[in-house]
């Protein structure tokens, strides 16, 4: 081997070492080569936390399953938009187009998957049909008052005991004339947010700065739904991260995390009056003479 050849090989090795070293350093700093732009770009990541085990798809390709703690994370993603789907057979799907930014960690830690079909159980039966109101007793939040135009009963949500009432309570007469939930708003169970209904729109306003993603400031509002009519019923889900509302014969559930779109689930088809108890997690409604309750408890 000639002296010139040795010098050439040495130069090539030095060049390879420099290039490889540069790539290693760039990789360690969180950069990745983007063939679309022809540049090294800072990568980002996201995390998903669900209430049940599920499969995760990214851009329609299987990316893995959640861990035993119902978590899934994906790092070193180039700053693009990714179609992410959380799927479990027999359950509602959670779908978002997640926009990844360089150096940013996106956390979606309040994902709720509920069954496609939630079967009710009969809590009790009444002696009359045509019930047009179901509201909590203002003096005892464990009691529901169910009324028609002429008769009224109370239902204990603790033991499902029915008691016939001698007259329709004043609270029922007042509720029957109300076409939409009372203002100024509906406070979330964690007291940090408020539902405001105005002009057929459902908005959520933050009453204090949020301490986790999505980061929101005090007084900041987001539009949850613009409806064709006033919703018949609106309430908070028990975790304060979803709202529930009844519109045009469908009882719906929507997440309040509006980043990259809102997931809304159609839970139950009913035009009957209903009431959701965010303490015990049951939805109560009327079917004929039967008082039905749906278990919406799907927490971790």
pLDDT in tens, 54-64: 999 999 999 99
Residue 178's pLDDT band, with cuts at 50, 70 and 90, is very low
Hey, what are 295's tokens? 């278990």
Q: Which has more confidence, 30 or 105? A: 105
Q: DSSP code of 131? A: -
Predicted confidence at residue 23, as pLDDT, reads: 54
Query: Residue range 221-247: average pLDDT?
Result: 94
pLDDT > 60? residue 133 = yes
Hey, what are 13's tokens? 């090795």
pLDDT tens for each residue of 69-98: 999 999 999 999 999 999 999 999 999 999
Tell me what the pLDDT averaged over the chain comes to.
Answer: 87
Hey, what are 66's tokens? 């959640």
Q: What are phi and psi for residue 3, nearest 5 degrees?
A: -65, -35
Q: Where are the domains of the chain?
A: 3-34, 43-111, 121-295
Predicted confidence at residue 17, as pLDDT, reads: 56
The Cβ-side half-sphere exposure at 280, using a 13 Å CA radius, reads 17
Q: Return the CATH number of 43-111, one of 3.40.1280.10, 2.60.40.10, 3.40.50.300, 3.40.710.10.
A: 2.60.40.10
The rounded percent of the chain whose pLDDT value lies above 70 is 84
Alpha-helical regions (H) of the chain: 3-28, 170-175
Q: Which stretch of DSSP H or E encloses residue 174?
A: helix 170-175
pLDDT > 50? residue 181 = no
Predicted confidence at residue 148, as pLDDT, reads: 86
- Measured distance CA(105)–CA(77) in Å, rounded: 10
| Residue 253: CB atoms within 10 Å | 20
Predicted confidence at residue 196, as pLDDT, reads: 95
Q: Which has more confidence, 140 or 124? A: 124
The structure's pTM equals 0.85
Predicted confidence at residue 15, as pLDDT, reads: 65
Cα separations (Å) of 65 from 2, 91, 101? Answer: 58, 15, 23
- Measured distance CA(212)–CA(3) in Å, rounded: 64
Predicted confidence at residue 83, as pLDDT, reads: 97
Q: DSSP code of 120? A: -
pLDDT > 70? residue 183 = no
Predicted confidence at residue 300, as pLDDT, reads: 47
Query: Residue range 44-48: average pLDDT?
Result: 97
Residue 251's pLDDT band, with cuts at 50, 70 and 90, is very high
Predicted confidence at residue 179, as pLDDT, reads: 40
- The tokens 């770009």 sit on which residue? 41
Burial code (b: 16+ CB inside 10 Å, e: under 16) for 124-140 equals: bebeeeebebbbbeeee
Hey, what are 15's tokens? 């060049």
Point out the least confidently predicted range of 5-9, 98-102, 149-153: 5-9
- Measured distance CA(148)–CA(153) in Å, rounded: 9
pLDDT > 50? residue 173 = no
Which of 286, 291, 293, 296 lies closest to 265 in space, CA to CA? Answer: 296
Which of 85, 87, 53 lies closest to 70 in space, CA to CA? Answer: 53
Angle in degrees, CA 72, 75, 77, rounded to 5: 125
């Amino acid at each position: 081997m000639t002296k010139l050849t040795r010098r050439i090989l040495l130069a090539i090795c030095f060049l390879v070492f420099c290039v490889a070293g540069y790539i290693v350093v760039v990789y360690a700093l969180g950069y990745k080569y983007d063939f679309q732009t022809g540049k090294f770009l800072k990568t980002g990541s996201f995390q998903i936390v669900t209430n049940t085990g599920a499969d995760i798809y990214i851009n329609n390709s299987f990316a893995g399953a959640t861990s035993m703690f119902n978590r899934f994370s994906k790092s070193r993603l180039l700053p693009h938009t990714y179609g992410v789907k959380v799927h479990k057979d027999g359950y509602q799907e959670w779908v978002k187009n997640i926009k990844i930014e360089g150096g940013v960690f996106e956390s979606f830690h309040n994902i709720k998957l509920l069954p496609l079909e939630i079967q009710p159980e009969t809590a009790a039966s009444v002696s009359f049909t045509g019930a047009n109101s179901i509201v909590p007793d203002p003096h005892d939040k464990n009691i529901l008052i169910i009324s028609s135009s002429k008769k009224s009963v109370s239902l204990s949500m603790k033991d499902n005991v029915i008691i016939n009432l001698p007259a329709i309570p004043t609270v029922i007469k007042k509720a029957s004339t109300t076409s939409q939930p009372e203002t100024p708003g509906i406070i979330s169970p964690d007291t940090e947010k408020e539902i405001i209904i105005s002009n057929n729109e459902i908005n959520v306003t933050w009453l204090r700065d949020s301490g986790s993603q999505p980061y929101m400031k005090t007084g900041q509002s987001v539009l949850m739904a613009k409806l064709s009519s006033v919703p018949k019923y609106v309430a908070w889900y028990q975790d304060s991260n979803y709202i529930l509302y009844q519109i045009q014969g469908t009882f719906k559930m929507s997440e309040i995390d509006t980043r990259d779109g809102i997931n809304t689930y159609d839970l139950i088809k009913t035009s009957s009056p209903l009431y959701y108890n965010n303490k015990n997690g049951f939805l109560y409604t009327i079917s004929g003479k039967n008082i039905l309750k749906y278990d919406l408890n799907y927490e971790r």
